[in-house]
């Protein structure tokens, strides 16, 4: 079993080093080393994440994807989450999330009986589905509140939008 660390930041300005240190410490505390790091700087609302795709291709049955929080893995809509979950399940990968304590047992060899293993798998699957839905709802709520705030600011004459990139516009003019 290999443990792979997956990190995702929504923008290139965000830094994954804090989360990377947390995952590394967690793996060490549980007697494991991170076999490889996969770091995306892409929104969790899309499946078009090169490092996640590479991770799913590299991982073998029984391997573990270690994440800090479920929302780092997905903010996908229902159909997208079903697709991703199926890929993970088909490859027989385990998801261990620092914010989901029941998932931590995937790193332990102490669960020996089939009943306990089956129950934990079912509970973790249900919890992952719930946390994935919560992550998507959080994303949609923030987008809605942002749109409401922009609309209000526009009506009050306070919203100006993004500042124009004068250099880029000048370059375009010179290329014409």
The reply to whether 174 falls in a domain is no
Pair 38, 52: CB distance under 8 Å: yes
The reply to whether 133 falls in a domain is yes
CA 74/CA 55 separation, integer angstroms: 14
- Assign 62 a pLDDT band (cuts: 50, 70, 90): very high
Domain CATH code at residue 107: 3.40.50.1390
How many domains is the chain built from?
1
Residue indicated by tokens 């830094």: 15
**Residues designated as active site:** 10
The reply to whether 151 falls in a domain is no
Which tens digits make up the pLDDT trace of 16-57? Answer: 778 899 999 999 999 999 999 999 988 889 999 999 999 999
Residue-number span of the structural domain to which 46 is assigned? 3-137
Burial call 147-172: b when 16+ CB within 10 Å, e when fewer: eeeeeeeeeeeeeeeeeeeeeeeeee
**Residue 57 has which token pair?**
């291709």
Pair 9, 69: CB distance under 8 Å: no
Q: In the predicted model, what is the mean pLDDT of the chain?
A: 89
- Assign 11 a pLDDT band (cuts: 50, 70, 90): low
The reply to whether 115 falls in a domain is yes
**Residue 26 has which token pair?**
């967690």
Q: Is 164 helix (H, G, I), strand (E, B) or coil?
A: coil
The reply to whether 162 falls in a domain is no
Which tens digits make up the pLDDT trace of 71-81? Answer: 999 999 999 99
The reply to whether 171 falls in a domain is no
């Amino acid at each position: 079993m290999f443990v792979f660390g997956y990190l995702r930041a929504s923008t290139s300005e965000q830094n994954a080093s804090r989360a990377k240190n947390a995952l590394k410490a967690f793996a060490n505390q549980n007697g494991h080393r991170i076999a490889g790091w996969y770091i995306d700087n892409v929104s969790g609302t899309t499946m078009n994440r090169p490092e996640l795709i590479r991770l799913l291709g590299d991982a073998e049955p029984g391997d573990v994807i270690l994440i800090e929080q479920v929302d780092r893995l997905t903010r996908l809509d229902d159909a997208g989450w079903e697709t991703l979950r199926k890929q993970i399940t088909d490859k027989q990968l385990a998801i261990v999330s620092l914010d989901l304590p029941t998932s931590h047992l995937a790193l332990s060899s102490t669960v020996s009986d089939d009943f306990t293993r089956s129950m934990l798998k079912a509970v973790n699957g249900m919890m992952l589905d719930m946390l994935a839905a919560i992550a998507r709802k959080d994303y949609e709520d923030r987008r809605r509140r942002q749109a409401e705030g922009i609309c209000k600011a526009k009506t009050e004459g306070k919203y100006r939008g993004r500042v124009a990139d004068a250099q880029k516009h000048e370059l375009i003019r010179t290329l014409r």
